[in-house]
Amino acid sequence: MSKGILLIMDGLGDLQDAKGRTPLSAAKKPNMDKMAKSGILGLLSPIGRGNVPGSDTSHLTLLGYPYWEFYGGRGPLEALGSGIKLHRGDVAFRANFATVRNGQIIDRRAGRIPTELGKKLQQKIGKMNIEGVEVLFVSTVEHRGVVVLHGSGLSAEISPTDPHELGAVVQSHALKAGAERTARVLNEFTRRAMDALSRAPENSGRKLPANAVLCRGAGAYREVEPFEKMHGITGACVAGGALYKGVAEYIGMDVIAVPGATGSKDTDLKAKGNAAIKALETHDFVFVHVKATDSFSHDKNFEGKKKMIERVDKELVPLLRKSGANIIITGDHSTACKFGKHTGDEVPLLAFGPGFRTGTQKKFSEVMCMGGGLGHIDGWDLLPIMLNAMGKARMVGT
Amino acid sequence: MSKGILLIMDGLGDLQDAKGRTPLSAAKKPNMDKMAKSGILGLLSPIGRGNVPGSDTSHLTLLGYPYWEFYGGRGPLEALGSGIKLHRGDVAFRANFATVRNGQIIDRRAGRIPTELGKKLQQKIGKMNIEGVEVLFVSTVEHRGVVVLHGSGLSAEISPTDPHELGAVVQSHALKAGAERTARVLNEFTRRAMDALSRAPENSGRKLPANAVLCRGAGAYREVEPFEKMHGITGACVAGGALYKGVAEYIGMDVIAVPGATGSKDTDLKAKGNAAIKALETHDFVFVHVKATDSFSHDKNFEGKKKMIERVDKELVPLLRKSGANIIITGDHSTACKFGKHTGDEVPLLAFGPGFRTGTQKKFSEVMCMGGGLGHIDGWDLLPIMLNAMGKARMVGT
């Protein structure tokens, strides 16, 4: 019987470059390589072979909540991760401050406005009541925010007002019968927000005024069976990014607040490691998330990704190892530096600890994982494998 | 973002002979071996581990239409592949000219009659109207043909008139309530066809007169979501055999007519390669089919199969490689030369191109594929893996 740590380096997997290297294979990571030698490797398809996972669908599935049953849009996860309490039937959106000129979106992030300015502008919008629906806008980090609709008879089956590209501001419309009112409410919110923001003195003089709020990722909130009841273990989450904290909140894990955990490349990995070890004293299982590996991949920055992996190996992994827990290190998807986007390629996975066998491979890399003793696993296999290693799996039958 | 080619060598996989050789491992195929070295290998179970695929169920599944949902009998696929237009609810059969003497079938292929004679005999049968059902018989190649029933209230739940062995001519009967009329129509067609053929002067003097039409593979036609809509890419098919063209037609791929593509061992592989490259200019994805590897296996001809693989390596593969596309080379099932029939053994698979990782194996063979970096995949994994390599997979979630 031992505890478990799942360390997700976001977007960890990669394709090889012309020299056959990936950020993971090229990284100097003596700690992880040592664990690979006495642990066991494998390749992970978070949502099935070849399928390209979003971070939300992948994390839910890896944590034992298969996406096809438990995923209902990004909005509620972002809202929960931002500390907003949701009620069953609420419809939530991920929102962006944006800059609109003559009805055209000219910057989808309003020049990545500072967080403090976003908080001030939030006051100008405030809470609204539209057609009996309470509309809440919350500014979170930089241009990011969340919109929540609270009321009865709402539907998430509406189109986004964020066109995901520059161009005309779009109206939301119902994707299914019965969603017309929700679309009208979102459109009226959008109109009023633009009106209020365009009159805000904070925007005057800004080259890219934050004069619009664009919404996407509509999702209706519902409660799900909490992690402890579902899997028979207590769980905690150590993460910087709102989405990952939101996933943990949604499935009833304890989200540990860690000063210095930013979800960016400057994140305090030692603080996260110490918080994880501490959480392990009171929980069976801790999920630790590191975002920057993915961000570097999106920026096509091979060296940055490699160095981030080296930092994790140096600053975070030794702390986690000291716990004596079963540790799985993997990613939520591959993000190919050469394309700058998520791919459906399998993700390297390393399992190490008292509950795992020792395989034959010597280092942690995509190619070594091809010959790993765990073989090729799907995302929904991960938690059962961890529970088994922890001695916490329930026997099926007698 | 790059294009994709799926090359199916029918019945490619095999069991080892006493010396441990298979036709694939024994073949001199420098081009494929070179691709194996910089590409990645795996083993494919087209319709799941151990299951023995038919060519029809396998191809549907490999092309992203899982057989349990989209397969409704061989008849409609043969009909579509022979250029016959079907309407929803039509019931189609694969048909054979046969020789019957004293009520007993003495040759199920009427001595493999020449195609020209079949076309002449088709005129003697013509179109019929039986109980309000239009019955169409079309002779295709040699003894082969297709029967289509067109009308309302038809059912494919009837037994075949082809007993699949020598012996008495059998009557079709309903396998489910409501199919009685369809069985009666088929039996009446069979009676009238035997009557007309026995009076045909073309049969006089033939030792094995083509004096009966036997039907099997009943299937009701329905339209399915077209390939482009289903998978987000345009697709074309280069094949000789009617069944493979029929599968492509059924799922809405463009079927390219290639003079010299016969579906036999004399097929013009260069013509097929050039047609595939040309099709790739206007399509995202091309499916290329080579039949003869399977035919040699059914004839228990190890050397013939091996030489056919060598011809494909020399005449077809270099043309495909020039395209720069992502290429997957595999089979639709294994056909064991020592048994002369399809088996459920995994099929060797080679993937090569800009969207694939490089594995560690050096040659393309059943044994090398056991250690391949793609591991063991099922037929329904193939198209997602190809779409991902092409950069055309849709992300699930955000």
Strand-strand pairing, A144-150 and A133-139? antiparallel
Chain A interface, Cβ < 8 Å to B: 15-16, 20, 43, 47-58, 67, 71, 74, 94, 217, 339, 342-345, 366-367, 370-371, 375-376
Confirm if B290 and B312 have CB atoms less than 8 A apart.
yes
> Among B165, B185, B220, where does a domain finish?
B220
In the structure encoding, which two tokens stand for residue B2, read together?
A: 């790059």
pLDDT value of position B219: 97
pLDDT at B396 over 90: yes
Stated length of chain A? 398
Average pLDDT over residues A332-355: 97
The pLDDT, as a whole number, for residue B3 is 97
Residue B397 domain-assigned (yes or no) = no
Choose the closest CB to A56 out of B360, B384, B398: B398
How far apart, in whole angstroms, are the C-alpha atoms of residue A198 and residue A319?
49
Domain check: are B155 and B267 in the same one? Answer: no
User: CB A55 to CB B397 under 8 A?
Assistant: yes
With a cut of 90, say whether residue B398 has pLDDT above it.
Answer: no
Q: Are A253 and A183 members of one domain?
A: no
- A48 with A92, same domain: the answer is no
Give me the pLDDT at residue B1, please: 61
The answer on pLDDT for B127 being more than 70 is: yes
Same domain flag for A142 and A190: yes
Per-residue pLDDT band at A1 (split at 50, 70, 90): low
Residue A216 shares a structural domain with residue A236: no
* A245 and A335 share one domain: yes
What is the C-alpha to C-alpha distance for residues B376 and B397, in angstroms, rounded to an integer?
A: 26
Query: Is A376 within 8 Å of B376 when comparing Cβ atoms?
Result: yes
Q: Is residue B252 part of a domain?
A: yes
Domain that holds residue B158: 79-220
Among residues B220, B252, B285, the one where a domain terminates is B220
Percent pLDDT > 70 in chain B is 100
Alpha-carbon torsion B201, B207, B211, B216, what sign?
negative
Structure-block tokens of residue A264 = 């960016």
* Residue numbers in B near A57 (CB within 8 A): 396-397
Last residue of a domain, one of B183, B203, B220: B220
Do the Cβ atoms of A49 and B381 come within 8 Å?
Answer: yes
Res. A87: pLDDT tops 70? yes
Based on the domain organization, do B249 and B166 belong to the same domain? no
B141 pLDDT exceeds 90? no
Which CATH number fits the domain that encloses residue B277?
Answer: 3.40.720.10
Domain assignment of residue B71, yes or no: no
Same domain, B49 and B156: no
pLDDT tens figures, B254-308: 999 999 998 888 899 999 999 999 999 999 999 999 999 999 999 999 999 999 9
Quick one: average pLDDT of B356-371? 97
Among candidates A51, A71, A74 on the partner chain, residue whose Cβ is nearest the Cβ of B393: A51
Secondary structure (3-state) at A298: helix
pLDDT-above-90 percentage for chain A: 93
Q: Is residue A71 part of a domain?
A: no
Q: Are residues B176 and B260 in the same domain?
A: no
Whether B179 is covered by a domain: the verdict is: yes
Look at residue A73 and tell me if it is in a domain. no
State the average pLDDT over residues A157-173.
92
CB distance A48–B381 less than 8 Å?
Answer: yes
Write the single-letter amino acid at A198: S
- How many beta-carbon pairs below 8 A join chains A and B? 82
Q: Is residue B260 a part of any domain in this protein?
A: yes
Written as one letter, the residue type at B332 is D
A92-107 pLDDT, tens digit per residue, is 999 999 999 998 999 9
Pairing of strands B254-255, B128-130: unpaired
Cα–Cα distance, A161 to A186 (Å, whole number): 8
Q: Is-contact A13 A329, C-beta < 8 A?
A: no
**How many CA atoms lie within 13 Å of B79's alpha carbon, on the beta-carbon side?**
31
Give the residue-averaged pLDDT of B8-20. Answer: 97
- The answer, as to whether pTM is greater than 0.90, is yes
Mutate to test the interface with B, among A52, A93, A349 (most CBs of B within 10 A): A52
Tell me if B359 and A376 make a contact (CB, 8 A cut-off).
no
pLDDT at A18: 93
User: 3-class DSSP state for residue B291?
Assistant: coil
Considering only CB atoms, A57 lies closest to which of B355, B385, B397, namely B397
CB contact under 8 A, A54 and B397: yes
Pick B357's closest partner by Cβ from A15, A54, A58. A15
Which pLDDT score is estimated for B355? Answer: 96
Residues A41 and A129 reside in one and the same domain: no
* Dist CA B183 CA B181 (whole Å): 5
Are B388 and A53 an interchain contact pair (Cβ–Cβ within 8 Å)? no
Give the closest residue to B346 by CA, choosing from B321, B381, B311: B381
- Classify residue A74: in a domain, yes or no: no
Cα–Cα distances in angstroms (integers) from residue B78 to residues A218, B118, B366, in the given order: 46, 17, 31
Angle between helices A242-250 and A55-62 (to 10 degrees): 40
| Domain tally, chain B | 2
Token pair for residue B14? 């095999």
Q: Are residues B239 and B337 in the same domain?
A: yes
**Mean pLDDT on B50-74:** 97
B372, B381, B397 member nearest A67 (Cβ): B397
- Looking at the DSSP bridge assignments, the partners of residue B158 are B174
Q: Are residues B200 and B338 in the same domain?
A: no
Query: Rounded CA gap, B92 and B80, in Å?
Result: 10
What tokens appear for B223 in the block? Answer: 């339209």
